[in-house]
């Protein structure tokens, strides 16, 4: 849904309300920045995020100020940012970044049923480490009670993205300055076993699959 506050005004050609692009950003991201107004002041807090269909999932302690506010349905804004590359122009002024970002406005709904919460937590775990939920012990009733999980509809949202090479002025094109894109990647390194694990404990295949060059 496009509304006055989701219409991208600055460099509008980079903006869209493309739902699939929004999903792709959420499915790639690990972190969302969640903004609320608390006692009259804006506060923006980083959180892990996942997607369940057309909702953003957020979770945290039942005692968290942020989670309680979200569960009560406060006005909220969820922002997700992916940096794809740094863009080095010939002029300092035209340096930029290639990025994909998403802003979602709305009100989250707290998941209350135990089964609904368990399924959402599995989505969370599998979003971060595909295959992990089949391996890890599921949350018990006490743990689920101590956890608030909210689902924010991806309804009023905008996507903005920049792609491509630097955009230098014609008058700068002849400058003898290197210009181009510096790709940015987030990648996993070798897993570090927990200290209590037996020394011969195998790293599961679903974890090995996350490490580059395997």
Ligand X SMILES: Cc1cc2nc3c(=O)[nH]c(=O)nc-3n(C[C@H](O)[C@H](O)[C@H](O)COP(=O)(O)OP(=O)(O)OC[C@H]3O[C@@H](n4cnc5c(N)ncnc54)[C@H](O)[C@@H]3O)c2cc1C
Which one of the spans 42-50, 76-84, 89-97, 109-117 is the region binding ligand X (CB under 6 A)? Answer: 42-50
Task: Return the number of the residue (59 or 160) whose C-beta is nearest ligand X.
Answer: 59
Interaction between residue 48 and ligand X (CB under 6 A): yes
Closest residue (Cβ) to ligand X?
A: 60
Q: 74: which residues sit within 8 A by CB, 6+ positions away?
A: 36, 37, 107
- DSSP-H helix ranges across the chain: 19-28, 65-71, 114-128, 141-145, 205-208
Strand blocks (E) in 3-74? 15-16, 31-38, 41-48, 50-52, 55-61
Task: Return the number of the residue (46 or 130) whose C-beta is nearest ligand X.
Answer: 46
Distance of CA 99 to the CA centre of its chain: 13
CA distances in angstroms from 17 to 26, 116, 139, listed in the order given: 14, 29, 36
Q: Shortest gap between Cβ of 73 and ligand X (angstroms)?
A: 16
Q: How many CB atoms lie within 10 A of CB 46?
A: 10
Interaction between residue 44 and ligand X (CB under 6 A): no
Q: Shortest gap between Cβ of 74 and ligand X (angstroms)?
A: 12
What six digits make up the tokens of 28? 């790639």
Number of residues that bind ligand X (CB under 6 A): 13
Task: Return the number of the residue (6 or 62) whose C-beta is nearest ligand X.
Answer: 62
From 51, 55, 59, 100, residue interacting with ligand X (rule: CB under 6 A):
59
Interaction between residue 31 and ligand X (CB under 6 A): yes
Task: Return the number of the residue (74 or 97) whose C-beta is nearest ligand X.
Answer: 74
DSSP bridge partners of 149:
59
Interaction between residue 66 and ligand X (CB under 6 A): yes
Task: Return the number of the residue (19 or 65) whose C-beta is nearest ligand X.
Answer: 65
CA distances in angstroms from 68 to 49, 79, 109, 125, 174, listed in the order given: 16, 19, 11, 22, 57
Interface contacts to ligand X, rule CB under 6 A: 31, 43, 45-48, 59-61, 64-67
């Amino acid at each position: 849904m496009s509304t006055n506050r989701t219409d991208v005004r600055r460099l509008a050609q980079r903006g869209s309300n493309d739902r699939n692009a929004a999903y792709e950003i959420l499915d790639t991201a690990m972190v969302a920045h969640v903004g609320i107004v608390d006692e009259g002041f804006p506060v923006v807090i980083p959180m892990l995020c996942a997607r369940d269909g057309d909702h953003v999932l957020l979770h945290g302690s039942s005692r968290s100020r942020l989670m309680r506010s979200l569960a009560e349905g406060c006005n909220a804004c969820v922002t997700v940012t992916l940096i794809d590359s740094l863009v080095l122009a010939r002029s300092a002024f035209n340096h930029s970044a290639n990025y994909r970002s998403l802003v979602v406005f709305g009100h989250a709904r707290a998941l209350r049923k135990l089964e609904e919460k368990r399924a959402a937590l599995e989505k969370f775990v599998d979003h971060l480490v595909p295959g992990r939920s089949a391996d890890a012990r599921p949350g018990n009733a006490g743990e689920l009670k101590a956890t608030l999980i909210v689902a924010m509809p991806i309804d009023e949202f905008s996507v903005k993205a920049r792609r491509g090479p630097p955009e230098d002025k014609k008058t700068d094109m002849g400058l003898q300055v290197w210009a181009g894109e510096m790709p940015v990647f987030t990648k996993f390194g070798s897993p570090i076993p927990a200290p209590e694990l037996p020394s011969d404990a195998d790293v599961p295949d679903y974890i090995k699959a996350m490490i580059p060059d395997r």
